[in-house]
Amino acid sequence: MQKKIKDFMTELVKKNPGETEFHQAVQEVVESVMPFIEKNPKYQEAKILDRIVEPERVIMFRVPWQDDKGEVQVNRGFRIEMNSALGPYKGGLRLHPSVYLGILKFLAFEQVFKNSLTTLPMGGGKGGSDFDPKGKSDNEVMRFCQSFMTELQRHIGPDTDVPAGDIGVGGREIGFMFGQYKRLRNEFTGVLTGKALSWGGSLIRSEATGYGCVYFAEEMLKTRGESFKGKVCAVSGSGNVAQYTVEKLFQLGAKPVTLSDSNGYIHDPDGISEQKLEFVMELKNVKRGRIKEYAAKYNCKYVEGRWPWEVKCDCVFPSATQNEIHESDAEQLVKNGCMLVAEGANMPTLPEAIKIFQQAKILYGPGKASNAGGVAISGLEMSQNSLRLSWSREEMDERLHDIMVKIHDTCVKYGKDGKHIDYVKGANLGGFVKVADAMLDQGLV
Ligand code: NDP
């Protein structure tokens, strides 16, 4: 088995040189599904694994725009249309200077399995640009978004490909992109999700990834007869996912004590309360300031240039970006008595660190299961747009909760090994089978 996996990966690396994050994401899935494929020759004969790692389509394009000084700037835009076996391509757009093909291919690949786990009819995709919205004026962001959408609009549509937000893409950016799409196509359709409520958005969409991650973690805790009451939680990031993770945590009686950004982290041992979270939301979503200002305002510790994994805690919610938990962080967390890791971010834990969590038999929920709440509500935003209706907040929250419980059930079904649940195997296999069967049904396409 190990040789088969190694040969497969050698070929993949040769074919996709330099795309290290993509290699990492594929390796994790292949390790889980290869033994299953070996036992089910129909997948092998149809070369499902070889096909599933190859995007159906990759679009790369120039994004020229003018800054406030009148100078011409050029960025690179991408959309990876990875797999449409289960429905239109669906997945976010990321605006961050680190964006290149390898990061977006890893995200699109993960998205295929995640979307399958939600049980909703969505294929997988991802896109974005190496544009950095940080430090740009609203007008500069608008000019960039308009130029980006001028090209992207040719490739997307409500029944083809429906992008959403991700790092660097929130309500402001979705608004600018939607406006440009509408203007060019003369159509008011559900081509993007994450829209504002008054023009086609869904209640609970902003909250969905963070809330969903905490709901998933709650199910994990229940398998050990535990709850969030009094649990000290470390959260990284301070963007969309982190903010609503913190909110749901304190609502369920836990004590979130950290937040971070790319400069450092704050540690507030008294806990981040509703009122303090309001300050964070204003700071990050409106003033676009740095998390350091929280420490000054609430007189707590700020640690420059580090992640919060050195803080003693019961539960961990990495909610910033890929590869933020390294082997030494995992060792430290386990040593400090951490019992649960639920990933709000995509692939935030390095493979060596995952091994440490798994050996220690702590509850470890991989992002493609635990952070699927965001795309699930996006899927329901698409349904509401098609129906030209909007469902209530309570209804959406209930649907989100149900979906997260079902995803947890799927992980248990495919990942239970005696008393222990291997959530990595559970999520990978649970996501894979549905996509693979749909690919078989649809013939060699
Ligand atoms: P935001 O842009 O709202 O926030 C991202 C946060 O992470 C910011 O605090 C940012 O700090 C920090 N961050 C980003 N990159 C880095 C880095 N390289 N090093 C250190 N800190 C970093 O993004 P989201 O909250 O939407 O996304 C966070 C994660 O969750 C991503 O992995 C995303 O793919 C994943 N995700 C998001 C979903 C959603 O619905 N939004 C759905 C599912 C997964 P700074 O401001 O300094 O850059």
The residue whose CB lies within 8 Å of the most ligand 1 atoms, and thus the one to mutate among 141, 167, 213, is: 167
How large is the C-alpha radius of gyration of the chain?
21
In what helix (H) or strand (E) does residue 364 lie, and over which residues does it extend? strand 363-365
194 lies in some domain: no
The residue whose CB lies within 8 Å of the most ligand 1 atoms, and thus the one to mutate among 94, 172, 321, 370, is: 321
The C-alpha atoms of residue 91 and residue 128 are separated, in whole angstroms, by: 10
Does 295 lie in the same domain as 247? yes
240 lies in some domain: yes
For ligand 1, whether the C-beta of 237 sits within 6 Å is: yes
Domain that holds residue 39: 2-52
Does 322 lie in the same domain as 225? yes
Q: Mean of the pLDDT values across residues 14-27? A: 98
pLDDT at 82 over 90: yes
Does 232 lie in the same domain as 351? yes
**What's the 221 CA to ligand 1 centre distance in angstroms?**
25
Where does a domain end: 337, 361, 385? 361
For ligand 1, what atom is nearest to the CA of residue 114?
43
**Residue 138: phi, psi to the nearest 5?**
-55, -40
Task: Retrieve residue 146's tokens.
Answer: 């308009």
Quickly state the pLDDT bin for 94 (edges 50, 70, 90): very high
**What's the 237 CA to ligand 1 centre distance in angstroms?**
6
Ligand 1 atom 21: the closest Cα is on which residue?
262
**Residue 92: phi, psi to the nearest 5?**
-80, 175
For ligand 1, what atom is nearest to the CA of residue 321?
32
**What's the 343 CA to ligand 1 centre distance in angstroms?**
12
41 lies in some domain: yes
For ligand 1, whether the C-beta of 245 sits within 6 Å is: no
Place of tokens 């559900």: 190
pLDDT in the model for residue 321: 97
pLDDT in the model for residue 19: 98
pLDDT in the model for residue 50: 97
For the chain, what percent of residues have pLDDT higher than 70? 100
Tell me, yes or no, if 126 is annotated catalytic.
yes
For ligand 1, whether the C-beta of 111 sits within 6 Å is: no
Does 311 lie in the same domain as 243? yes
Ligand 1 atom 10: the closest Cα is on which residue?
261
The pLDDT tens digits for 214-260 are: 999 999 999 999 999 999 999 999 999 999 999 999 999 999 999 99
The residue whose CB lies within 8 Å of the most ligand 1 atoms, and thus the one to mutate among 211, 262, 290, is: 262
Judged by DSSP in three states, 83 sits in strand
Place of tokens 């997948």: 43
Q: Which residue(s) pair with 340 in the sheet?
A: 315, 363
Among residues 339, 107, 371, which one has the least CA distance to residue 248?
371
CA 197 to chain centre: 22
Amino acid identity, residue 233?
C
Active-site residue (options: 126, 248, 276, 368): 126
Does 142 lie in the same domain as 119? yes
* Segment 390-396 long-range contacts (CB within 8 Å, at least 24 positions apart): 390/197, 390/202, 390/203, 391/202, 391/203, 392/203, 393/203, 393/204, 396/202, 396/203, 396/204
15 lies in some domain: yes
Task: Retrieve residue 139's tokens.
Answer: 């007008």
The C-alpha atoms of residue 258 and residue 389 are separated, in whole angstroms, by: 38
Amino acid identity, residue 409?
D
Amino acid identity, residue 99?
V
Ligand 1 atom 30: the closest Cα is on which residue?
345
For ligand 1, what atom is nearest to the CA of residue 98?
18
Does 160 lie in the same domain as 74? yes
418 lies in some domain: no
Residue 143, Cβ neighbours under 10 Å: how many? Answer: 19
Does 157 lie in the same domain as 21? no
Does 104 lie in the same domain as 245? no
For the chain, what percent of residues have pLDDT higher than 90? 99
* Sign of the CA dihedral with 263 first, then 267, 271, and 276 last: negative
99 lies in some domain: yes
Q: Mean of the pLDDT values across residues 309-321? A: 98
Where does a domain end: 361, 393, 424? 361
Does 48 lie in the same domain as 71? no
Does 180 lie in the same domain as 255? no
pLDDT in the model for residue 301: 98
| Cα→Cα distances 401→77, 209, 316, 377, 412, Å | 35, 11, 20, 11, 17
For ligand 1, whether the C-beta of 147 sits within 6 Å is: no
The pLDDT tens digits for 382-407 are: 999 999 999 999 999 999 999 999 99
DSSP output for 19-71: -HHHHHHHHHHHHHHHHHHHH-HHHHHTTHHHHHTS-SEEEEEEEEEE-TTS-
Please report, for the domain that includes residue 87, its CATH number: 3.40.50.10860
For ligand 1, what atom is nearest to the CA of residue 374?
40
The pLDDT tens digits for 172-206 are: 999 999 999 999 999 999 999 999 999 999 999 99
The C-alpha atoms of residue 52 and residue 66 are separated, in whole angstroms, by: 39
Quickly state the pLDDT bin for 1 (edges 50, 70, 90): confident
For ligand 1, whether the C-beta of 431 sits within 6 Å is: no
Ligand 1 atom 3: the closest Cα is on which residue?
239
The region, left, alpha or beta by phi > 0 then psi within -120 to 50, assigned to residue 74 is beta
For ligand 1, what atom is nearest to the CA of residue 241?
25
**What's the 92 CA to ligand 1 centre distance in angstroms?**
12
- Number of structural domains (the chain) is 3
**What's the 389 CA to ligand 1 centre distance in angstroms?**
30
Does 236 lie in the same domain as 349? yes
| Cα→Cα distances 291→59, 255, 258, 281, 440, Å | 35, 18, 10, 10, 49
Ligand 1 atom 22: the closest Cα is on which residue?
262
- H helix runs in 223-273, sequence order: 240-251
For ligand 1, whether the C-beta of 343 sits within 6 Å is: no
413 lies in some domain: no
139 lies in some domain: yes
Where does a domain end: 31, 52, 73? 52
For ligand 1, what atom is nearest to the CA of residue 164?
40
Q: Mean of the pLDDT values across residues 129-158? A: 98
For ligand 1, whether the C-beta of 110 sits within 6 Å is: no
Secondary structure, 3-state, 301-343: EEEECCCHHHCCCCEEECCCCCCCECHHHHHHHHHCCCCEEEC
Does 111 lie in the same domain as 68? yes
Ligand 1 atom 7: the closest Cα is on which residue?
320
Q: Checking DSSP bridges between strand 363-365 and strand 161-164, what pairing results, if any?
A: unpaired
- The chain-wide mean pLDDT, for the chain, equals 97
**Residue 71: phi, psi to the nearest 5?**
-80, 145
Place of tokens 């994450």: 194
pLDDT in the model for residue 159: 97
Amino acid identity, residue 109?
F
pLDDT in the model for residue 144: 98
